[in-house]
A and B are shown apart, each in its own frame.
Chain A
Amino acid sequence: MEYLSLFVKSIFVDNMIFAYFLGMCSYLAVSKNVKTANGLGVAVIFVLLVTLPINYLLNKYLLQPGALAWLGDKYAALDLSFLSYIVFIAVIAAIVQVVEMVVEKFAPALYSSLGIFLPLIAVNCAILGGSLFMQERAFANVGESAVYALGSGIGWYLAIVALAAIREKTAYSNVPAPLKGLGITFITVGLMGIAFMTFMGIKL
């Protein structure tokens, strides 16, 4: 029940795009058609799902105040949390590289559809944002952080596919010239965000 509630909330209520604006750069750049949006969305879900539990464990056993207590009392007072940004981003960059190589070797078909998006993801704010929110929200165990990762990833995926579908349509609309392209896309995302806010009162 806890997991289900966390899952639904991270998809709809605390949506990475509509509530926190995370991953906007690639969101706007790669949402011109549904097919590529689909590829990037799947890649984001995947990378979130891999990096978040790893960063969770690192945070728990290495970074947070008192995390080194398992090494002995001598280390219990150490607080390495000031290193968390650099550790998180290094893990993300490394995982993205490893994932890229593994996928290329063992699933060439998947690689040819995802491949070009993977390097982009290292600097996608949604991934680092996921890890930072995970740290701030102090999840109880690895399971919760994995569920949160899956939910946020799916939320991001839904958002990019939906926007791509809308942009395919608005390409044929009669938009005022200064608003064409970027301007109208921002406004569309804003309106989608307002629509997503109806999920706010959700009870589980």
Chain B
Amino acid sequence: MNTNSNTYTVVYSTILVMVVAAVLAFAASSLKSRQDDNVKAETISKIITAAGLYEDGCDAKTVYSQNLVEAFLVDAAGEPVGKLAEGEVKVTSDLKAENDNIKAGKSVKLPVYKFNVNNEVITVLPCYGAGLWGPIWGYVALKPDMNTIAGVVFDHKGETPGLGAKIATEPWFREQFAGKQIAKNGEVVAVSIIKGGAPKGDINAVDAISGATITSQALDATLKIWLGQYKEYIAKCAQPAGEDCCEDECECETSENQED
């Protein structure tokens, strides 16, 4: 057969492309559910890490479902707009979609996770934004007063190794958030990440990672935007009883006293 003729070349490449596409489509679709499970499992372990429930070697899914009080969605006005099904979490791609909605000024459905940790209700809120090279995201866990931070966890897609990537890997960076407050004079201001070191005793600020200026600024802005989106919900939760937003968590009622 003449393997150099035009017809042969065209037919050959068509068949090749079809075979390759079929093999890949089959592989991708048969492995898809497993891959999604992995993404979900990772998200769950991040969430429970922020809540302070994660221990080395624990089964993240079990810990998550055992300690979860409830998981639901709220809109920008702080009204609940839907529940998350058993074991369902909003993964990074969902957060990206919501972030696009925030930027476009559209209505949002933001996830809220509430855990029972040592008889306290800890609320975990996500955040998502653009870093230097790619997306950065994270979870902020709030104590029952909805003001004091219990823990945080951050992750990123492609920040510079050794610089911006440290937001995910450096324990000191994460740990300095614990005990900080997201509100100042009753307004949600999030936590500022300050280059060259936060002023001593500033309850609303932490130190930035030296050398990682843009990533730090991006994380700072991300926290402000996302916690800003939750501010109505946070305010409602921080109010005395009678509001239905907190549903069955009486812990929220005590927050007024703790705030001042």
Tell me the A residues contacting B by CB distance below 8 Å: 5, 9, 13-14, 19, 65, 82-83, 86, 133, 136-138, 140, 200-201, 203
In B204-260, the 8 Å CB interface with A consists of 210-211, 213-214
Among A133, A140, A200, A201, the residue within 8 A (CB) of B158 is: A133
Which chain A residues lie closer than 8 Å to B21 at the CB level?
Answer: 83
Interface check B198, CB cutoff 8 A: no
Which chain B residues lie closer than 8 Å to A19 at the CB level?
Answer: 160
Among B20, B28, B134, the residue within 8 A (CB) of A138 is: B134
Interface check B22, CB cutoff 8 A: no
Interface check B179, CB cutoff 8 A: no
Which chain A residues lie closer than 8 Å to B157 at the CB level?
Answer: 136-138
The reply to whether B135 and A82 contact each other, CB–CB distance below 8 Å, is: no
The reply to whether A137 and B28 contact each other, CB–CB distance below 8 Å, is: no
The reply to whether A82 and B160 contact each other, CB–CB distance below 8 Å, is: no
The reply to whether B134 and A136 contact each other, CB–CB distance below 8 Å, is: yes
The reply to whether B24 and A86 contact each other, CB–CB distance below 8 Å, is: yes
Which chain A residues lie closer than 8 Å to B27 at the CB level?
Answer: 82
Q: A16 CB to closest chain B CB, in angstroms?
A: 14
The reply to whether A201 and B135 contact each other, CB–CB distance below 8 Å, is: no
Which chain A residues lie closer than 8 Å to B132 at the CB level?
Answer: 9
Interface check B8, CB cutoff 8 A: no
Interface check B93, CB cutoff 8 A: yes
Q: Which residue of A lies closest to B213 (CB)?
A: A203
Q: B27 CB to closest chain A CB, in angstroms?
A: 8
Interface check B63, CB cutoff 8 A: no
Residue of B27, B132, B133 with highest tally of chain A CB at under 10 A: B133
The reply to whether B20 and A86 contact each other, CB–CB distance below 8 Å, is: yes
The reply to whether B211 and A200 contact each other, CB–CB distance below 8 Å, is: yes
Q: A5 CB to closest chain B CB, in angstroms?
A: 7
Which chain B residues lie closer than 8 Å to A86 at the CB level?
Answer: 20, 24
CA distance A103 to B211 in the complex (A): 43
Which chain A residues lie closer than 8 Å to B162 at the CB level?
Answer: 200
Interface check B163, CB cutoff 8 A: yes
